Each structure stands twice: as structure tokens, then as C-alpha cells.
Structure 1
Amino acid sequence: MVPNAIVVWNWPETPIVILVILVTALVGRWLLVRMIRRASALAVERAKRRREELGTQTEPLHMARYAARAATMGSLLRSLTNAVIAVLTVLTVLATLGIPLTPLLASAGVGGVALGFGAQSLVKDYLSGIFMIVEDQYGVGDLVDLGEATGTVEDVGLRVTRLRDGSGQVWYIRNGEIVRVGNQSQGWSTATIDIPVDTSESSTRVIEILGQVAAEVGADPEWEKVLLEEPRVVGVQSVEAGRMTIRIVAKTQPNQQFGVQRAILDRGSQALKDAGVKGPRVLPSPPTL
């Protein structure tokens, strides 16, 4: 050892200790990365089981989305693991060489506090994005209501979510600003069809005709993969002046209810017309004074 030297170097103890530190860091990194990959695979499998439990078909597009989500999380966690292990390894080696760490840690602490105050919103966005991805709140292709905007998700990042609304406008929403999520693409959707007829018509006869239409749509191969249950007529929804409304409901795959609504409405209206059922009366407007 050289007297009054800044770096402490004892042969062969110091090189052996440094070698042990490096080997330990590499082994620890290998174990952590292996655990992260395993956790990512389990996350994909858990998301698949959850979708099956909700009664949603597991399509290749959805599985690709889950795989992309797991890959994003795995990449983030691996980067954090590499950074933490690298910092700990460097600090341990410096301590082994006898270099004082107190001034270095004090400077890093002051810089970290300043950076934390300046990047609070950024950290909030990233943390919210991580939890959204882990909890599978929504993904690409889902129809969601995020409060400020409603539309189809086009991209889910760790900081920003991009979605497109019905008018084609693209919205960029910071994940930290999202306080509630309404996802219409998880589980199933409900098609609700209200068909009005004249109040003079027999509700029993109208319900019977519409029941036949619902059964035909349920047996149609075109809607076999869309419908989760056969459409059913729930009965009279409302009775107003000159108008009686009969309601039909159908349980469908997520976001597939609109096509079913159009099909039942079209067939139901034609069946009622063929049976001679009159439509709702248009009452004259009261005279204005």
C-alpha cells in the first residue's frame, strides 16, 4: 500500500474483492432479468385468462397487444435493473478502493431533490402509465371514455395515451391526468333496439313477431360469432300518445352491438310491415296561441 494515497490498493486482496463484486453483480442481474421475463410471461397468460373469464374471444390481435404490453414492461424493468445494479456496483467498487463516498452521495442527493421537484408531473405520468399497463385497464383498439375524450385507443405509452374520437380527431392525454377509465371493449356489449308501433296494435302480437325475428338473427351464421346470447324481446318499454315502444336486447362481443342493432331493426321493421302492423301515429301539434 502506498502511504497517503487516495486509492487503497492491496495485492491481491483488492483485485479479488473487485472481481467478487463484479461477479455478484452479473449473477444478480441475470437472476433479476430472468424473474422479469418470467413475470412478463405470467402477465400475458393472466390477461388471456381474464379475457376468457369475461367471455371475450382471444384473438391474435389481442394476444399481440398483451405481448407488446409485456415487452414494454419487461424492457422498462430491465433498464431500471441495469441502472440500479450499475450504480450499486460502482459505489461498492469505489468504497473498496477507499474513495470517500459522502461528498458524492451528498451531491447526488441535492441533484435528485432538485430534479424531483422539476419533474413531478413527468414522474406522475410515468407511474400512472406503468400501473395502467400492469393492470390492463385498456389497450390498442379498445373503445374507452377517459373523461375529457372518448374514442378508440391508437397507442398506449408510458407517458401519453393517444386515441381517436368518432369525428376523427386525435387526442393526446397524459397518463397522470387520467382519473377514470370507462372501457367498452372488455367483456361484452349490449345491443338495445327500440321499435315503435301504434298504440292500437296488440302488444302480444307485436312481441310474437319480433320474437321470431330475434330467433332468426340468433340462428344466422353471419352473427354467430358476434352474439354471445340469442336476442330476446324484453317487452313493452314505454307507451306514449300514439306510440308504443317494444324493446329487444342482445349480448354481443365488445363493440359489436351496432351491427346487431341495425340487423334486428331492419328485419324487425320489415317483418312488422309485412304483417300489417301500423307504425306510430304522428299526432297533430297543438295550435299556438
Structure 2
Amino acid sequence: MTLAGGAALRAAAVGVIWAAGFFVLSRIWAGLLLGVTSSQFALVMRQTAGVAIFAFAGWVALVFLQAFFDGYTPKRAAIGPGDEDTEHEASVPTRLATVLPVLRGVVLGAVLGLTVLIVLSRLGVDIGPLLAGFGILGLALSFGSQALVRDIVSGLFFMLEDAFRVGEYVDTGRLKGTVEKISLRSMQLRHQSGQIHTVPFGQVQSLTNASRDWATVKFNVRLDHSADIEQARKAIKKTGIALQEDPEFGPHFIAPLKMQGVADITDSAIVIRLKFTGKPNHASMLQREALKRVYRALNEARVPFASNAVTVRGGEGGTQSQAAAAISAVPPPTPLVPAAG
């Protein structure tokens, strides 16, 4: 507020200086070049002053509001294609800071339009037909651009419900990404690969916000049939405690890493399920670190992982085609399963 007031005072001072200079130069030129008398000059100045005062007040108001919005709107650092684990949580602004850019455009546009109408009225222009024309034009646009009206109305309700903010990761069903910019009718999403998607609000039927409060991550690890499940549970528990005590990763955990139990038993493996709860912006990083440490801990505890090797037993009549068919029947390993140690 102080910065905005200072900017408005500077604008007012500059305006006063320009007005005084204009008055002095006009008085000199009017008397020397045009031969205007003092009474005629005073009449012209009174008419001009009425217009200048409103134009000056509108200009000072615009400078004040622009400085006010710029002061309260946080400047987000540009996120380049660098390390995806860079700390971005502090860059997520508040709800008010997300709405301010949209509110800024609406308020500045309204003040500018009102100033122009008042100045035209002081100049003797009948603004009644202008207002009627703008009303008819707005009505025609509302009927002819129903999609635009739907986008604006939907956007207002999204903002009132605080469905998302700048800097949060959202999924609209068709497109997903980090919200980089919000306008009156659309939002811009930055995909992980770098593309920017512009999504009109009217096309968003449902929206999933992945950056609020917390995120629970579950993933599976495949162990050999001969593995000691209790020993694996203890090793995973120690890993979860170590992760919480780690100064780099610990502050991002909400609930520690633990083994939920056996999720499935297949022909080639015992599938155990692990889970943890962490801050949503760091869930992927925590999962990668957890997998790395679990892999090392299970190897140190001599808990064997499931192998994808296929053993084919058959009599002398067994053929190579049967062995190849057996091998092809084995599903490929999932990305979350560590390789066999």
C-alpha cells in the first residue's frame, strides 16, 4: 500500500508540473501569437481545466491501482527444463495472489473506460448513445459468443471454489500440467515435456488437483518364493525410519515408508506392497529414493528378489519351440520392480 501511495504521489506531482508548464506556455503563446485576450483565455482555461482534472484523476488512479496490484502479486520464478526435483513448493502463491492478475485486468479496464466516458462527457459528447450502443453490442456478443460467456462464467466459479492456483499440478482429464497462468477465460498448463496447453474453462468438465495437502504413494516389489517376509518387513521398516531421519528427505514425509503386506502370489514371485505419505510436490522424488534404499536394504538382508528366468523341463521329446513358447508367456517386469540382485 505504501509503494502504491508513493507511486500515485509521484504521478500527481509529475502531472501538476506538466499542467503548470502547459498553462504558462499556453498563456504566452495565446497572447503573443494568437492575440487572445485575458478574458477569452480564462474562459478556455476553465473549460479545459474541467476535462483535465478528470483525466488527471483517472491517470493517478490507474497508476495507484497498477502499483498496488504489482506490489501484492508475487513474481514467480521461471521454471526451466532443469532438475524436476528442484524445490517448487515455496513458489505456489496464495489464493488471493492467484486471483489478483485476473482482478487487475478487470479493475484497470473499468477505471480506464469510466475515465474515457467522463472526459468525453466533459468535452460535450453525448455518451447516452454510446452506452446504448455498447449495451446492444454486449448483448449481441453474449448471444453470438456463448462459448466465450461459458468460459468466463466457469472460470469465475473455479476461482470462487479455489479449485486450483498458479503453480499447482492439475489434470483436466484430457490435458495435465502445472498451472502457469490464469486469465479471465482460460488457463495455461505447462506439461512435464515443456509444452504449454491453453485450456478454456468451459471445456473443463472435471479437474483433479495433485498439489494439495498430501499424497499417498503405493508400489509393489516382487520377491522370490523363498524370501523371508518377516525379514523383508523389518528391513523396509528400518529403511522408512532412516528416510524420516534424513535431513534432505525427512521433512517431506508425512507418514513413514512401510510394508502393507503381501499383495499377490504368482507363479514366479511373492508381490509385497509398500506405501508412504508425503508432500505432493515431492512424491515422485521420495518414491525413487525409497526404491533405491529398499533395494539396497533387501540385498543386505539377503532377501532374494523374484527372477524372470524361466526353467523349462521336458523329456527327450521336448522341442525348442516349446521352450520358446514358455519364455514368451512370461510377462515383462514392471518399471517399479528392481532388477534381481
TM-score (norm 1): 0.67
C-alpha distance after superposition, 1:203-246 (max 9, x if no partner):
22211221111121122111122111222221111111121122
| Structure 1 CA distance for aligned equivalents of residues 131 and 200 of structure 2 | 33
- Aligned partner of 1:161 in structure 2 is 187
| Structure 1 vs Structure 2 CA RMSD | 4.0
Structure 2 gaps of 5+ residues are 1-56, 73-87, 314-321, 327-341
Residue of 122, 134, 140 corresponding to 2:160: 134
Is the counterpart of residue 247 in structure 1 residue 266 in structure 2? no
C-alpha distance after superposition, 1:120-175 (max 9, x if no partner):
22222222223323322112221111121112222222222111223333211112
Paired AA for residue 104 in structure 2: S
Q: Percent identity?
A: 28
- Aligned partner of 2:257 in structure 1 is 231
Moved over 6 A (4+): 83-90, 103-106
| Structure 1 CA distance for aligned equivalents of residues 232 and 247 of structure 2 | 25
Secondary structure of 1:231's aligned partner: strand
| Structure 1 CA distance for aligned equivalents of residues 212 and 221 of structure 2 | 28
- Aligned partner of 1:151 in structure 2 is 177
- Aligned partner of 2:283 in structure 1 is 257
Secondary structure of 1:136's aligned partner: coil
- Aligned partner of 1:18 in structure 2 is none
Instruction: Indicate conservation of the 8 Å contact 2:232/2:301, yes or no.
Output: no
Paired AA for residue 127 in structure 1: V
How many residue pairs get aligned? The number is 241
Is the counterpart of residue 111 in structure 1 residue 137 in structure 2? yes
Secondary structure of 2:160's aligned partner: helix
| Structure 2 CA distance for aligned equivalents of residues 104 and 158 of structure 1 | 25
Is the counterpart of residue 62 in structure 1 residue 92 in structure 2? yes
TM-score (norm 2): 0.58
Task: Answer 1 or 2: higher relative contact order, Cα 8 Å, separation at least 6.
Answer: 1
Secondary structure of 1:255's aligned partner: helix
1:128/1:265 Cα in 2 relative to 1: closer, same or farther (>3 Å)? same
Paired AA for residue 107 in structure 2: R
| Structure 1 CA distance for aligned equivalents of residues 96 and 90 of structure 2 | 10
1:134/1:72 Cα in 2 relative to 1: closer, same or farther (>3 Å)? farther
Secondary structure of 1:201's aligned partner: coil
Paired AA for residue 128 in structure 1: S
| Structure 2 CA distance for aligned equivalents of residues 144 and 249 of structure 1 | 23
| Structure 1 CA distance for aligned equivalents of residues 189 and 312 of structure 2 | 44
